[in-house]
Chain A
Amino acid sequence: MAASSQKSTENPPTPDKLPVPAAPKPAAGAPPPKKEPEAPPFEKGLVEEIKKKFGESIKVIFVKPLRIKIQVEPRDIVEVATFLRDSMGFDHAESAGGTDYPKENQIEVIYHLGSYTREDLGAHILSLTARTSRDDARLPTLINVYKSVEYHERETFEMLGVYFEGHPRNERFLLPEDWADIPPLRKDFRIKGR
């Protein structure tokens, strides 16, 4: 009923007490409702497995078809990575990089993990991230878990200034030998003329 009177006290007030359109649809052109799309069941199963082992120290950022992103504390990252490699089948790290968020004063280092051995995980990428503060950026290295991140971590060190504890060579890799400036991928490094 479009506009029911407020005097009827036998029935509880109908949902469309206020003069709104019949169906609660948003107006055309307005942003879609804030309901998250349903997480696909297979990826949800993977996330449940991780949560069962680690519980509260994992924060799930998003679960989309074929892409999962989780965030961990810097001190737990080696343990989580070992679990992902041994029990879940993510056997290599496809790439590792970082992003600078100066507004939150943090640098986020992200590892994209993939699987060569498990057929059903061949298309999935699990992004394992950790955030560290911008002023003293340190993270434990994942080189003993995934050997493939050796050069990627070195590049992240020179481009963003993140020190990886335990990495044998935290030194410059792609930049020239006489580089005397701040790490280039930080947001306060401006390209000349822009």
Chain B
Amino acid sequence: MKRELVSPTTFNVMVSKLSDILVKALDAPLGYAINWGRIWSLWPVHLETACCSVEFGAASGPRYDVERFGIIEAFGSLRQCDLIVVQGTVTRKMAPRLRMVYDQMPEPKYVIAMGACAITGGLYIDSYNVLPGVDGIVPVDVYVPGCPPRPETLIQGTMLLQEKIKRSKIK
């Protein structure tokens, strides 16, 4: 009986069953913990694309304090940021730089398209130098409408992003 228990085949089966139980037990709380860490420390890249940057600056001010959500104006390098807020119109000159910045950010990364110009081109849709929407270059997670969106709208957009992150699975 003891020999049967410790034979190679049963040993393998026992180990795999144990690891299954461990992963299932820890998956939900571990995933929850990792997601919790990601939600409450989203660091945006300092890339101002156009005029909506004024409302983003106002959102960081004392009245619509966005720092209580963990979003600090991270003045370090962009290798340690995980959120890019496309603030406003993206012109043809800025588009390759936006893609370069997006590529340099480490995984996981999220994109918020802020303002009507970033969603569809907005007021400037018939200009010769403006891209009609930014989701052709970077994959967008949350669209925040407005021209410019009020800081409260931006905070609501961030909270939607937080909901989305909470529901995502860790690979």
Contact = CB atoms under 8 A, between A and B. Distances in A.
B129 interface: yes
A132 to B, nearest CB: 24
A180 to B, nearest CB: 11
Contacts, number: 18
Interface in A163-194: 175-178, 181, 184, 189, 191-194
B93 A192 contact: no
A80 to B, nearest CB: 35
Contacts of A181: 128
A181 B93 CA distance: 15
A190 to B, nearest CB: 9
A176 B126 contact: no
Nearest to A184: B128
B93 A177 contact: yes
A177 B126 CA distance: 20
B93 A191 contact: no
Contacts of B91: 176
A192 B127 CA distance: 8
Size bracket, chain B contacts: under 10
Nearest to A181: B128
A191 B129 contact: no
A176 B129 CA distance: 8
A191 B128 contact: yes
Contacts of B92: 176, 178
A194 B126 CA distance: 8
B19 to A, nearest CB: 54
Interface string B116-134: 0000000000111100000
Contacts of B93: 175-177
A1 to B, nearest CB: 65
A178 B92 CA distance: 9
B129 A175 contact: yes
A177 B129 CA distance: 12
A176 B96 CA distance: 11
A133 B134 CA distance: 41
A184 B130 CA distance: 14
A194 B129 CA distance: 15
Nearest to A177: B93
Contacts of B127: 191
B129 A192 contact: no
B29 to A, nearest CB: 50
Contacts of A189: 128
A182 to B, nearest CB: 11
Q: Top 10 closest A-B pairs, CB basis?
A: A176-B93, A176-B92, A191-B126, A193-B126, A184-B128, A192-B126, A191-B128, A194-B126, A191-B127, A176-B129
Interface of A: 175-178, 181, 184, 189, 191-194
Given A176-B129, A191-B127, 7 more contacts: A175-B129, A176-B91, A176-B92, A176-B93, A189-B128, A193-B126, A194-B126
18 contacts: A175-B93, A175-B129, A176-B91, A176-B92, A176-B93, A176-B129, A177-B93, A178-B92, A181-B128, A184-B128, A189-B128, A191-B126, A191-B127, A191-B128, A192-B126, A192-B128, A193-B126, A194-B126
